[in-house]
A and B are shown apart, each in its own frame.
Chain A
Amino acid sequence: MPDTIPFRAQNVRMGSSSGQPLTRRDGFLKVTGAATYAADNHPENLLHAVVAVSTIARGRVASLDVDAAKAHPGVVEVITPANRIPLALDPDVKVGLFGFRIEALQDDRVRYANQPIALVVAETLEAATEGVRLLAPRYDVEQTRISFGDGEAFEPVAVAFGSPPVAAVGDLGAGLAAASHRVEASYVTPAQYHNAMEPHAMVASWDGDRLTLDTPNQAIVLSRAAFAAYFGIPAENVLLRSPFLGGGFGSKAIMNGPYILCILAARMLGRPVKMVLPRAQMFGPVGHRGATRQTLRLGTDADGRLTALEHDAVATTSSFDDFLEPAANASLNLYASPTIVARHHGLRLDIGTPGPMRAPGEASGSAALESAMDEAALACGLDPLEFRLRNYAENDPASGKPFSAKSLRECYAQGAEAFGWAGRALEPCRMRDEAGQLVGWGMGSAIFHAPMFQAEARATLRADGTALVETAGADMGQGAWTALAQIAADGLGLDIDKIEFRSGSSDLPDGGVAGGSGHTATAGSALHNAGTDVISKLTELAVNDRDSPLFGAGNAGVDARHGRLYHRDDEARSESYQSILARAGLTNLEGNGRGGRDPASAEQRAMFSHGAVFAEVKVDPDLGQVKATRLVGAFAAGRIINPKLARSQLYGGMIWGISFALHEEALHDRRTGRPMNADLAGYHIPVHADIPDMEVLLIDEVDPYVNGLGIKGVGEIGITGTVGAIANAIWHATGVRARRFPIRIEDIIVG
């Protein structure tokens, strides 16, 4: 497998940096401890804040022993609904598209366990922690609703961020009636909490009406405006610095109550305040993947072609806000069927409001869809891969539009080849290893939409031939600092070591959201355009200057590379950037660029990344313990800027798929609603020993429509497909169908 992705003429021509498997430029800082995360900031005069959280899930705070807490040495202030200064915005109002209702001590109501009910601020972390304990809250407790059986059902007006709750094409009744085989199956997916390695953290300092925030954030400029709105100051007054994030997974793109309280404390007390959420408080106020119960009905004809696909999802949300995991929408764009219905219902529970978590909807929806497809393949007597090929969608089933590019067939073919899928027995329980363990193979299709947001960037070419490029992007560990710099270098026709890349701060041009797998495409486009803007200005100078070897070359007749402009018809005629600037008497030359989707192509094409995941598991026949032993994923996601980083993202997604299938689940006590495994000893994610031999294949794909650079995304797609592939492999090994995730030993031994 070549490490360098070859140049493709259909998109914008890229230079020498894009396609290179560069190592993360921030890696050295991170492994040497030199990278400063939010909590590493210690401004002078710093106070420490600890959030007191509720131990009940529904009711009211009846009393808090504020006096006891305040009497503790070192405690400076206890902030409660009784004394907190007003906010410019009602926390129960949603701000902007990504807004959520938050808990910022607006009243004494408790709406979920681990909700903030007070903030203790002290000279030391220890004093603040002890102050919280001394508050000894008492509650008026109301009956908790925490499980599918006792929630309050409702019909939502939207799922996720404003998507329609129901999408339908064709006549479902007719499609089901026409089927010669019908499969109906239900699946439950649990609540999962993001749990990035770096917990949510903030250092907030006020200087008059200016606010500086050191805090990890996935949407820096957007969040700056949201923070400003709560405090009634102009967005420009907020400086949000987020150079390094220890993971985000969607949780750090959204507003939460503890952050507002930290800023509020700094304002009330006139001193900088630091707040770091302990691991247990990551289970509540900062979002999660909501539990779902999904039911699929698939009809197929005698040839194994879908006649109907119905995906019905009950998505859980909080009692006071809506974020419904758009799980059923996973069925809209993948398989051809004359009729597809995706439908969502809501269920209110006494939990914190869910939010976007890596592949929101796609992850849980794909788990169910790919499992159901496996059942349908069996009903038709077809190999699961053959069944998917028979139902290959040439156009987007939901909209009928052509795909901007779709290379799923190649993914299937190359993935199956690399895995050795051919010859797999249709029936379960046919394979054992030399030790007698049951062996099973399963597969799933992967799909993720290729959105773009809005981003801006600035490039400044300097007299010495180096350039400064700037955009407020977010590097959560995915490698944005590296991939974006590669694109920026190519936009400027400079080698990457001539680029100074600044990112991660809200005083830079808006880098958009690091979410939806659209960051590289969006911020990358802005950076590339800023570079081309500089080059066209530079070209203008050169071709109009009699003293330049490029004089008269005309705008179209110049190539920029390695810091020189070349006459396109005569390579011997060239001039360095330095000398063009020097002769023009310029110390620098600035260009600007924007990134965003071309509305016309969005109107005409459906845009998705695709992939195929093949899994092997071993299962102890008597004892039911499962181990994934082999995973192969083949993914086509447009132009790959950095194959090393892209592979890492895909590995990470597939590992999360293992976690989803076999490990991850928040256990809420059914009476109190408290998460009972809110630490990393109890909330299982895979450890090294759970990670099998993995292979990621990057399938070459040219997408002429998705954007000028031909870039899709790789951040989330790896989870999709993988969960189903593992569940299907378990069935193939044991004959047991997963009805809930994670799949546990007792599910297998009891059957």
Chain B
Amino acid sequence: MNLFEYIRPASTAEAVTAASEPGAAYLAGGTNLLDLMKVGAIHPGRLVDVTRLPGLDRIEQLADGGMRIGAMVRNADIARDPIFAKAYPSVAEALLSGASPQLRNAATVGGNLLQRTRCAYFQDAASACNRRDPGAGCDAREGENRAHAVLGWSQSCIATHPSDFCVPLVALDAVVEIEGPNGGREVPLEEFHLLPGTTPERENVLGAGELITGLRLPADASGFRSHARYLKLRERTSFAFALVSAAAALRIEGETIRAARLALGGVAAKPWRARAAEALLTGAKPDAEIFAGAAEVALAEARPSGDNAYKIELAKRLVKRAFLLAAAGTPERVPALPASVFVSDTGVPTHA
């Protein structure tokens, strides 16, 4: 019988204990979890509602100049926080380019990090899916896969991680704060999500009962605030997941790039940090040629996993554009169509 328990713990410790049982799942905004339960893709036996845990709903400035966001802060509230948006404009832009206002009002930080892939075969209980049902096979391999991964995929799974939020976060070295049965720990977001390999069911490093309590952005991440953009290609102007997205950030002194950051979304089972491309840019002059070179480097390992070879070329072009826009400077305010190629109040010609 598909009856499940609903628990609303009063403290983090209680939550962790309640969720350590097999079959338990944390319930945050529910915008992803409940949908998957309704379509029958997942059947948790116990829901541990963490939305009212004390102390997880704050955005704080840290003494070292960084910022900390509680796991229960709603996506909309982060994007609207003026101090946060000023320090990490590409994160705010990424958030505002995702989902719809209603969903952003409900979705939490923790839930956004842990949202599941949008692979249609994962969501369809009647399909074979290694991620849902280890060893069952992967129906996406020969199926509708034009939006699937081009980097880091394996024979077992070719799904992508759908989050926009995570892409600039990975670029900016965000750190995930975790509480678990064995106490607290911290994991860099870049290492938090796992590539599928032969165990696609292991999507991240969390162990049983582990709860995300917060997210930290280091102080030096705000050093990119004058040259940070998020750009997202999608099949309608708003309210669609990324086919490919890129978060590009630069620290420019005079004519020289002192530091560069790049992460891609929609290309792999995790937000994809492209460190080799960053290295290429460091010390270079910010121009179209070097950005094109960085794009080549970033996608050097990419291979189609199905009808999606076009995504490789698209990702390259997008990376180049994202850097051009970043170099031109972060706009004063988040554009009316966040992360869209159709808003360019920076004056950067799109055909440069």
Instruction: Report yes or no: B350 in contact with A437, Cβ–Cβ below 8 A.
Output: yes
User: Which residues of B sit under 8 angstroms from A624, Cβ to Cβ?
Assistant: 314
Interface bits A649-677 vs B (CB < 8 Å: 1, else 0): 00000000000001100010111101011
Shortest Cβ distance from B237 into A: residue: A689
- In whole angstroms, what is the CA distance A627 to B350 when docked? 15
Q: A676-B124, A676-B144 are in contact. Are A623 and B2 (CB under 8 A)?
A: no
Q: A622-B317, A671-B142, A676-B121 are in contact. Are A690 and B310 (CB under 8 A)?
A: no
- In whole angstroms, what is the CA distance A667 to B144 when docked? 8
Instruction: Report yes or no: A435 in contact with B344, Cβ–Cβ below 8 A.
Output: yes
Shortest Cβ distance from A658 into B: residue: B236
Question: Is residue A24 within 8 Å, beta carbon to beta carbon, of the partner chain?
Answer: no
Instruction: Report yes or no: B235 in contact with A684, Cβ–Cβ below 8 A.
Output: yes
Smallest Cβ distance from B298 to chain A, in angstroms? 16
Question: Is residue A430 within 8 Å, beta carbon to beta carbon, of the partner chain?
Answer: no
Instruction: Report yes or no: A669 in contact with B310, Cβ–Cβ below 8 A.
Output: no
Within 8 A of A (CB), among B49-93: none
Could you list 13 examples of A-B contacts with CB < 8 Å?
A130-B1, A130-B2, A435-B348, A618-B342, A620-B342, A623-B314, A625-B342, A627-B237, A663-B236, A674-B124, A676-B120, A676-B144, A684-B236
Question: Is residue B243 within 8 Å, beta carbon to beta carbon, of the partner chain?
Answer: yes
Instruction: Report yes or no: A689 in contact with B236, Cβ–Cβ below 8 A.
Output: yes
Q: Which one of B2, B120, B233 has the highest number of Cβ atoms from chain A below 10 Å of its Cβ? A: B120
Interface residues of chain B, those whose CB is within 8 Å of chain A, are 1-2, 39-40, 118, 120-121, 124, 126-127, 139, 142-144, 146, 233-240, 243, 310, 313-314, 317-318, 320-321, 337, 340-342, 344, 347-352
- In whole angstroms, what is the CA distance A130 to B40 when docked? 10
Shortest Cβ distance from B345 into A: residue: A435
Instruction: Report yes or no: A745 in contact with B124, Cβ–Cβ below 8 A.
Output: no
Question: Is residue A739 within 8 Å, beta carbon to beta carbon, of the partner chain?
Answer: no
User: Which residues of A sit under 8 angstroms from B121, Cβ to Cβ?
Assistant: 676
User: Which residues of B sit under 8 angstroms from A618, Cβ to Cβ?
Assistant: 342
- In whole angstroms, what is the CA distance A715 to B258 when docked? 60
Instruction: Report yes or no: A687 in contact with B1, Cβ–Cβ below 8 A.
Output: no
Interface bits A633-663 vs B (CB < 8 Å: 1, else 0): 0000000000000000000000000000011
Smallest Cβ distance from B6 to chain A, in angstroms? 14
Instruction: Please tell me which one of the listed residues B239, B342, B350 contacts residue A621 in the complex, with CB atoms under 8 A apart.
Output: B350
Smallest Cβ distance from B229 to chain A, in angstroms? 14
Smallest Cβ distance from A678 to chain B, in angstroms? 9
Q: A689-B238, A745-B235 are in contact. Are A669 and B2 (CB under 8 A)?
A: no
Question: Is residue A749 within 8 Å, beta carbon to beta carbon, of the partner chain?
Answer: yes
Q: Which one of B144, B236, B239 has the highest number of Cβ atoms from chain A below 10 Å of its Cβ? A: B236
Shortest Cβ distance from B100 into A: residue: A687
Q: A435-B349, A620-B341, A622-B317 are in contact. Are A745 and B310 (CB under 8 A)?
A: yes
User: Which residues of B sit under 8 angstroms from A537, Cβ to Cβ?
Assistant: none
Instruction: Report yes or no: A436 in contact with B349, Cβ–Cβ below 8 A.
Output: yes
Instruction: Report yes or no: B237 in contact with A690, Cβ–Cβ below 8 A.
Output: yes
Instruction: Report yes or no: B144 in contact with A435, Cβ–Cβ below 8 A.
Output: no
Instruction: Please tell me which one of the listed residues A55, A686, A689, A744 contacts residue B126 in the complex, with CB atoms under 8 A apart.
Output: A55
Instruction: Report yes or no: A750 in contact with B310, Cβ–Cβ below 8 A.
Output: yes
Instruction: Report yes or no: B351 in contact with A690, Cβ–Cβ below 8 A.
Output: no
Q: A622-B351, A669-B139, A677-B120 are in contact. Are A688 and B314 (CB under 8 A)?
A: no
Q: For the complex, would chain B's binding face be called helix, strand, loop or mixed by DSSP majority? A: loop
Instruction: Report yes or no: A746 in contact with B146, Cβ–Cβ below 8 A.
Output: yes
Q: Give 9 closest A-B pairs by Cβ, nearest first.
A: A689-B237, A689-B238, A746-B310, A55-B126, A436-B350, A436-B349, A676-B120, A435-B344, A622-B317
Instruction: Report yes or no: B351 in contact with A623, Cβ–Cβ below 8 A.
Output: no
- In whole angstroms, what is the CA distance A66 to B350 when docked? 61
Shortest Cβ distance from B336 into A: residue: A689
Smallest Cβ distance from A68 to chain B, in angstroms? 10
Instruction: Report yes or no: B144 in contact with A669, Cβ–Cβ below 8 A.
Output: yes
Instruction: Report yes or no: A745 in contact with B238, Cβ–Cβ below 8 A.
Output: no
Instruction: Report yes or no: A623 in contact with B126, Cβ–Cβ below 8 A.
Output: no
Instruction: Report yes or no: B350 in contact with A622, Cβ–Cβ below 8 A.
Output: yes
Question: Is residue A170 within 8 Å, beta carbon to beta carbon, of the partner chain?
Answer: no
Instruction: Report yes or no: B344 in contact with A623, Cβ–Cβ below 8 A.
Output: no
Smallest Cβ distance from B239 to chain A, in angstroms? 5
Shortest Cβ distance from A132 into B: residue: B40
Instruction: Report yes or no: B120 in contact with A671, Cβ–Cβ below 8 A.
Output: no
Q: A133-B2, A676-B143 are in contact. Are A749 and B238 (CB under 8 A)?
A: no
- In whole angstroms, what is the CA distance A670 to B139 when docked? 11
Question: Is residue A8 within 8 Å, beta carbon to beta carbon, of the partner chain?
Answer: no
- In whole angstroms, what is the CA distance A687 to B350 when docked? 24
Q: A622-B351, A750-B310 are in contact. List 13 more A-B contacts (CB 8 A).
A: A72-B1, A435-B348, A436-B349, A436-B350, A436-B352, A625-B340, A670-B142, A670-B143, A671-B142, A672-B127, A684-B235, A689-B337, A746-B146
Within 8 A of B (CB), among A713-749: 744-746, 749
Question: Is residue A682 within 8 Å, beta carbon to beta carbon, of the partner chain?
Answer: yes
Question: Is residue A101 within 8 Å, beta carbon to beta carbon, of the partner chain?
Answer: no
Question: Is residue A432 within 8 Å, beta carbon to beta carbon, of the partner chain?
Answer: yes
Q: Which one of A72, A625, A745 has the highest number of Cβ atoms from chain B below 10 Å of its Cβ? A: A625
Smallest Cβ distance from B97 to chain A, in angstroms? 11
Smallest Cβ distance from A129 to chain B, in angstroms? 9
- In whole angstroms, what is the CA distance A241 to B39 when docked? 31
Instruction: Report yes or no: A745 in contact with B233, Cβ–Cβ below 8 A.
Output: yes
User: Which residues of B sit under 8 angstroms from A744, Cβ to Cβ?
Assistant: 235
- In whole angstroms, what is the CA distance A746 to B118 when docked? 20
Q: A669-B139, A689-B237 are in contact. Are A749 and B342 (CB under 8 A)?
A: no
Shortest Cβ distance from A71 into B: residue: B1
Within 8 A of B (CB), among A49-79: 55, 72
Instruction: Report yes or no: A669 in contact with B313, Cβ–Cβ below 8 A.
Output: no
User: Which residues of B sit under 8 angstroms from A749, Cβ to Cβ?
Assistant: 310, 313-314, 317
Q: Which one of A435, A681, A686, A687 has the highest number of Cβ atoms from chain B below 10 Å of its Cβ? A: A435
- In whole angstroms, what is the CA distance A435 to B324 when docked? 13
User: Which residues of A sit under 8 angstroms from B347, Cβ to Cβ?
Assistant: 435
Instruction: Report yes or no: A623 in contact with B318, Cβ–Cβ below 8 A.
Output: yes
- In whole angstroms, what is the CA distance A606 to B144 when docked? 45
User: Which residues of A sit under 8 angstroms from B237, Cβ to Cβ?
Assistant: 627, 687, 689-690
User: Which residues of A sit under 8 angstroms from B146, Cβ to Cβ?
Assistant: 746
User: Which residues of B sit under 8 angstroms from A690, Cβ to Cβ?
Assistant: 236-238
- In whole angstroms, what is the CA distance A55 to B124 when docked? 10
User: Which residues of A sit under 8 angstroms from B2, Cβ to Cβ?
Assistant: 130, 133
User: Which residues of A sit under 8 angstroms from B342, Cβ to Cβ?
Assistant: 437, 618, 620, 625, 627
Q: Which one of A432, A744, A746 has the highest number of Cβ atoms from chain B below 10 Å of its Cβ? A: A746
- In whole angstroms, what is the CA distance A700 to B303 when docked? 58
Instruction: Please tell me which one of the listed residues A623, A671, A676 contacts residue B341 in the complex, with CB atoms under 8 A apart.
Output: A623
User: Which residues of B sit under 8 angstroms from A672, Cβ to Cβ?
Assistant: 126-127
- In whole angstroms, what is the CA distance A746 to B243 when docked? 11
